[in-house]
Amino acid sequence: MMSLRRVSTLVLGLALLAVSGITVGCGSPAVQDTETVVIAGSTSVQPLSELLAEEFMKERPGVQVTVQGGGSTAGVRAVTDRVADIGAVSRPLREGEEGLKQFVIALDAIAIVVHPDNPVEELTFEQVREIYAGQITNWSALGGPDRAISLVTREEGSGTRTAFEELVMGGTPIAEGAVVQNSNGAVRATVAQDPSMIGYLSLAYVTPEVKVLRLDGVEPTVDNVKEGRYPLARPFIYVTREAPQGLVKEYLDFVLSEAGQAIVEEAGVVPAR
Amino acid sequence: MRRASREWQRLGERCMERLLFAGSLSGIVTLGAMVVFTFAAGLPVILRTGLGRFLLGQHWRPLEGEFGIAAMVVGSVFVTLGALAAAVPLGLGTAILLSEFAPPWVRRIARPAVELLAGIPSVVYGFYGLVVIVPLIRQHLGGVGFSILAGSVILAVMILPTLITIALDSLRQVPDSYRQGSLALGATRWQTVRRVVLPAARSGVVAAVVLGAGRAVGETMAVLMVTGNVAVLPESILSPVRTLTGNIALEMGYAAGEHQQALFASGIVLFILTMILNGLIQLRRVGRVAR
C-alpha cells in the first residue's frame, strides 16, 4: 500500500520533470540555431514591417524575422538595450536619439478627414490647431453649416497622435472633450458616421467613406508627400545601434531595394525613394 | 496475475487523482501569482500619489505624471448600472416566462438561442454599437452618440445570456411541489411566481444579477468602441466616458515606467470591485446556510 503510493508519486514527479524539461528545452535553442532579425517599435510601421519581413523570409529560407510592436519610443529603447536589432520609429528622432543609425524606409502622410457631406474642402495648419485646441467650435467659422464641431483623436502614446501633436499642436494640448479611438480604422468609422466629426488618420487608411481635406491648399497625395509639399507628413524610420552588418544589413538593403520599395507602395505608404 | 492487474489499476487511479489535484492547484497558483504581480506592479504608484488623490483625482494625464482615476471609476460604475437597469427586468422576465409560462418547446428553442448570444465575440458587439447604436443615439437624442447610454445598451445585450441562463436554472430548481401546493391553495399562477417561486429561487436570481454585473464591469473591447473614451467626469448619460478596463486596453501598448504602474493600479481597483461583487454572492450563501 505504502509502496504503491510512493511509486505513484514518483511516476507523477518524473512526468512533471519530463514536461518541464521539454518546455525549457524548447525555449532556448531556437534563438541560436536559425539566424534571426528582431524588429520592435511603432505600431504604425508594424503592418508594413510584417509584409517586408514575410517577403524577405521567402527569399532567404532559414532566416527568421520577428516583428514586435510596443511603440516608437519602446523601439528606440529596445535597440539601445540590444533587445532588438532594428527599432521601428514613426516620428522624427528626438534629442538624445541621434546617436543611432537611421534609415528612412517610407513616408506616411496624416490626412485630415471629415464626413463626405461636410462642404468644407480645405483648412489651414493654423485652423486645424485651433479646432483641436477647442478654440474653433463651429463649422460655420470655417465656411461650413452652423453645426458644432466634434473631434476624434487617438489614444495617448499612439505614434499617429504623437506625430500629430508634434507637427500640428506644437505644445498646445488637444481639447479634453475629444472622443478617443484606438485605431486608424475606428477613427475612420467614427468620422464616417457623423457629419460634425473631424479626425486624422494615416493616409494608408483613407477610403471613400471619408473626405480628405486639403491642408494649406495641398492634397495629401503620394507625389505631394514625396516632394515635401504636404506639411503633415512623417517618416517611417528603421534605427540600428551600430552600422548594420550581416543579416541586418541584408534585410535593410532588401527594404530599400526596388523590390522592397514596391512592397511599401503596395501597402499604401509612400516609398522613401 | 489478477492481483497484479488490480494493483496497476489502483496505481493508475492514484496517478489520475494526483494529476487532477495538480490541475486544480494550478488554477489557484495562477490566481495567486496574478494578484501578487498586479499589486506589486500597481501599489507603488498608489502609495506615491496617495490613495485619495488616486481614487478621487479628476485628471488623468499619464505623460505628465498625473494619475487620477475618478472619471474612469464613475464611467465604469455608470455604464454597469445602466446595463443592469436594462438587462435585469428583461433577463428576469425572460427567465420567468421560459420557466413558468412558456410551453417546453419554446424553452427548447429559446434557451440555445440565448446561449448563442453569449458566443458572439465582443468586437462584433462593439462594431454593431459603433455603426448602429451610436448614430441612432446621436440623431435622436443629441450629443456625439458615444456615451454612457451606448455602452449600457451594448452591455445589456451582452450580459443577458448570463442573467437568463443562471436565473432560469435557479427557477427550474424550485421543486414542483411548491407550485402545486400554492396553486392548490387557490393562488393564481402570477401569485405563485411572485410569492413562492421567486423567493425560493432568490439566491440564484441574486447570483445571476451579480455575475451579470461582474461581466459588465470587466467587459472591455465592446465598451471601448462605443463610449468615446473621454477621461472627464460625465454630465449626463449622453456624455462620453472612459471605463477602467477601456483605459487599460487603450494605453497598455505604449505605457512604460510610472504610466504602466498606474495602469496596473487601475487593475487593482477593478480587482477589488470584482471581489466585492463576488463577496456579495458568498455572503448570501453563508446567510442561507446559517438559516
Tens of pLDDT, residue by residue over A187-215, are 999 999 999 999 999 887 888 999 999 99
Check residue B133 and report its DSSP letter.
Answer: I
Residues B285 and A220: their CA atoms lie apart, in Å, by: 64
Confidence of residue A182 (pLDDT cuts 50, 70, 90): confident
Is the per-residue pLDDT at A240 higher than 70? yes
The x, y and z cell numbers of residue B178, run together, are 411548491
- Name the helix (H) or strand (E) containing A270: strand A270-271
Q: Which helix (H) or strand (E) holds B66?
A: strand B66-67
Picking from B10, B253, B255, the nearest residue to A69 by CB comes out as B253
B184 touches chain A (CB under 8 A): no
- Cα separation, B178 vs B201, in Å, equals 11
**Is the separation of the CB atoms in B282 and B95 below 8 Å?**
no
Say which of B62, B131, B224 has its CB closest to residue A182: B224
pLDDT of residue A225: 87
Buried residues in A96-127 as b, exposed as e (16+ CB within 10 A): ebeebebbebbbbbbbbbbbeebebeebeeeb
The pairing of strands A233-240 and A86-89 is antiparallel
What is the Cα–Cα distance from B242 to B233, expressed in whole angstroms?
A: 9
> Pairing relation of β-strands A233-240 and A197-202?
unpaired
Strands (E) located in chain A: 35-41, 63-70, 86-89, 101-114, 122-123, 150-154, 179-181, 197-202, 211-212, 214-215, 233-240, 270-271
Asked if the C-beta of A19 comes within 8 angstroms of chain B's C-beta atoms, the answer is no
Q: Which residue has the higher pLDDT, B205 or B3?
A: B205
Distance, in angstroms, between A259 CA and closest chain B CA? 31
Burial label, B227 (beta-carbon count in 10 A; 0-12, 13-18, 19+): buried
Whether B242 contacts chain A with CB within 8 A = yes
Which of B14, B240, B259 minimises the CB distance to A179? B240
The predicted pLDDT at position A32 comes to 40
Inter-chain CB proximity A5 and B14 less than 8 Å:
yes
| Distance (Å) from the alpha carbon of B11 to chain A's nearest alpha carbon | 6
- Are the C-beta atoms of B241 and B74 separated by less than 8 Å? yes
Residue in A3, A7, A9, A12 to test binding to B, most B beta-carbons within 10 Å: A12
CA A84 from centroid of its chain's CA atoms: 17
A25 touches chain B (CB under 8 A): no
Please say if the pLDDT value at position A24 is more than 50.
no
Q: Is the pLDDT of residue A178 over 70?
A: yes
A272 pLDDT tier (thresholds 50, 70, 90): confident
Against a cut of 0.90, is the pTM above it? no
Q: A150 to chain B, minimum CA–CA distance in Å?
A: 7
Chain B's closest residue to A72, CA to CA, is B254
List CB contacts (< 8 A) between B135 and chain A.
193-194
Answer whether A115's CB lies under 8 Å from A197's CB: yes
Judging contacts by C-beta atoms under 8 Å, the chain A residues touching residue B231 are 176, 180
- Answer yes or no: do B18 and A9 touch at CB < 8 A: yes
Among chain B residues, the shortest Cα distance to A12 is held by B15
Q: Spell out which residues of chain A touch residue B10, defining contact as CB-CB under 8 Å.
A: 4
A73 interfaces chain B, CB cutoff of 8 Å? yes
**Helix, strand, or coil (residue A108):** strand
Cell of B6: 488490480
Partner-chain contact A70 B240, CB within 8 Å? no
3-state helix, strand, coil in chain B (%, to 5): 80, 0, 15
d(CA A127, CA A143) in angstroms, rounded, equals 12
Number of CB pairs < 8 Å for A and B?
88
Q: Over 80: is that where the pLDDT of B148 sits?
A: yes
Please tell me the predicted confidence (pLDDT) of residue A227.
84
User: CA nearest B214: which of B67, B47, B76?
Assistant: B76
What pLDDT sits at residue A166? 86
Residue A213 confidence (pLDDT): 94
